[in-house]
């Protein structure tokens, strides 16, 4: 009996250490119908990360405004970085988010704004929150469905939330330099950027990380900016040679676009071993010891 209990305890520890979560109470991606049905749940916090003027013009009833720029800040030469811990904790507290809250992140639309919503959601998960989702199709899907909108300004009482940083959700530069030749890296940018035919001005090198797999973030969305079926995403990732038991790192230009793949792979599919590189190409391309590749696959 003692041996059985010891084995059970060891199994639980292995699962916890692998990042498998049992505590999620809401889906990782919710639709308009789900959100409407849960608007009166006292646990729910609808986090509207659009511009303040857009929020004032109309928002989902009960939503609180928390502009995206507060969640992805400039640090030194790098854009769109995680806020400093004290700032992040205050940001979460000021939105009235408790440790057990159900948080639904709302952007203006799906499609080109989907990764803005997932970046905030990833940051909340990194901060230690379990029950976070993004609204499929964003605010545009809500209004297109003819749902009620409000212009009432909502201010929730500040919470006493305390950070519980999940370091294994994040890849920093040191981690990348140690694992670049040993792990699959998923490049969430467009084909043109991956191949080096185009680049942003602040990225010092053309092309992609050595050995990186091209998987533009747009692949997970349909023509209306809605998430494609889960089976399609799993089929896509499997065709790229990826599986749930692998450790994967996703990156882009600034750490925003790659959050879409992190969110979908880790939270939507439940694959436990994935990190998002916040500094991404903007940071690594400045390192003269790393030579990006262009005009080739991998």
- The full DSSP string for 107-128 is -S-SGGGHHHHHHHHHHHHHTT
How far apart CA 298 and CA 293 sit, in angstroms, is: 8
Q: What is the pLDDT of residue 47?
A: 98
Q: Is 180 exposed, middle or buried (0-12, 13-18, 19+ CB in 10 A)?
A: middle
CA 181 to chain centre: 24
Sign of CA pseudo-dihedral 199, 197, 111, 188: negative
pLDDT, tens only, 116-172: 999 999 999 999 999 999 999 999 999 999 999 999 999 999 999 999 999 999 999
**Percent of the chain scoring above 90 in pLDDT:** 92
Sign of CA pseudo-dihedral 111, 116, 118, 121: negative
Q: Is the pLDDT of residue 211 over 60?
A: yes
Read off the pLDDT of each residue in 274-293 and give the average, rounded to a whole number.
Answer: 98
Look up tokens 């959100």; give the residue.
Answer: 35
Q: Is the pLDDT of residue 244 over 50?
A: yes
Look at residues 84, 166, 90, 69 and name the one whose alpha carbon lies nearest to residue 127: 166
* Model confidence band, residue 10 (pLDDT cutoffs 50, 70, 90): very low
How far apart CA 5 and CA 180 sit, in angstroms, is: 39
**Cα 184–250–34 angle (5° rounding)?**
125
Q: Is the pLDDT of residue 15 over 90?
A: no
Instruction: Answer whether 152's CB lies under 8 Å from 63's CB.
Output: no
Look up tokens 């080739």; give the residue.
Answer: 296
Q: What is the pLDDT of residue 290?
A: 98
Q: What is the pLDDT of residue 214?
A: 98
Q: Is the pLDDT of residue 182 over 60?
A: yes
* Model confidence band, residue 238 (pLDDT cutoffs 50, 70, 90): very high
Q: Is the pLDDT of residue 221 over 80?
A: yes
* Model confidence band, residue 2 (pLDDT cutoffs 50, 70, 90): very low
Phi-psi region of 62 (alpha: psi -120 to 50; beta: other; left: phi over 0): left
Q: Is the pLDDT of residue 282 over 60?
A: yes
Q: What is the pLDDT of residue 12?
A: 40
Reduced to 3 states, what is the DSSP secondary structure of residue 199?
coil
Reduced to 3 states, what is the DSSP secondary structure of residue 20?
coil
Q: How high does pLDDT run on average in the chain?
A: 93
What residues contact residue 247 under an 8 Å CB cut-off, 6+ apart? Answer: 179, 183, 273, 274, 275
Q: What is the pLDDT of residue 23?
A: 77
How far apart CA 247 and CA 2 sit, in angstroms, is: 33
Instruction: Answer whether 277's CB lies under 8 Å from 249's CB.
Output: yes
How far apart CA 229 and CA 226 sit, in angstroms, is: 9
Instruction: Answer whether 241's CB lies under 8 Å from 235's CB.
Output: no
pLDDT, tens only, 23-63: 799 999 999 999 999 999 999 999 999 999 999 999 999 99
Read off the pLDDT of each residue in 227-235 and give the average, rounded to a whole number.
Answer: 97
How far apart CA 195 and CA 261 sit, in angstroms, is: 19
Read off the pLDDT of each residue in 101-110 and give the average, rounded to a whole number.
Answer: 98
* Model confidence band, residue 74 (pLDDT cutoffs 50, 70, 90): very high
Reduced to 3 states, what is the DSSP secondary structure of residue 73?
strand
**Percent of the chain scoring above 70 in pLDDT:** 93
Reduced to 3 states, what is the DSSP secondary structure of residue 80?
strand
């Amino acid at each position: 009996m003692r041996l059985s209990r010891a084995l059970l305890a060891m199994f639980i520890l292995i699962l916890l250490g692998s990042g498998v979560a049992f505590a999620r109470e809401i889906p990782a991606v919710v639709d308009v119908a789900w959100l409407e049905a849960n608007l009166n749940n006292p646990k729910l916090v609808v986090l509207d990360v659009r511009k303040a003027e857009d929020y004032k013009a109309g928002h989902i009833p009960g939503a609180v405004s928390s502009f995206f720029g507060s969640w992805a800040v400039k640090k030194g030469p790098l854009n769109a970085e995680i806020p400093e811990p004290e700032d992040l904790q205050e940001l979460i507290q000021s939105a009235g988010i408790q440790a057990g809250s159900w948080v639904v992140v709302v952007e203006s639309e799906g499609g080109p704004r989907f990764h803005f919503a997932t970046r905030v959601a990833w940051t909340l998960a990194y901060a230690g929150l379990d029950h976070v989702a993004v609204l499929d199709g964003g605010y545009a899907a809500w209004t297109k469905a003819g749902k009620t909108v409000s212009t009432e300004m909502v201010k929730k009482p500040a919470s006493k939330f305390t950070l519980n940083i999940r370091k294994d959700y994040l890849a920093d530069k040191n981690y990348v330099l140690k694992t670049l030749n040993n792990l699959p890296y998923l490049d969430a940018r467009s084909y043109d950027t991956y191949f080096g035919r185009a680049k942003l001005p602040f990225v010092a090198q053309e092309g992609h990380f050595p050995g990186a797999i091209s998987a533009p973030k747009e692949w997970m969305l349909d023509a209306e900016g809605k998430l494609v079926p889960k089976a399609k995403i799993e089929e896509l990732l499997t065709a790229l040679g990826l599986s749930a038991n692998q450790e994967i790192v996703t990156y882009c230009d600034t750490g925003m676009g790659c959050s879409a793949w992190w969110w979908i792979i880790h939270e939507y599919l439940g694959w436990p071993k994935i990190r998002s590189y916040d500094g991404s190409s903007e940071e690594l391309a400045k390192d003269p010891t790393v030579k990006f590749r262009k005009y080739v696959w991998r």
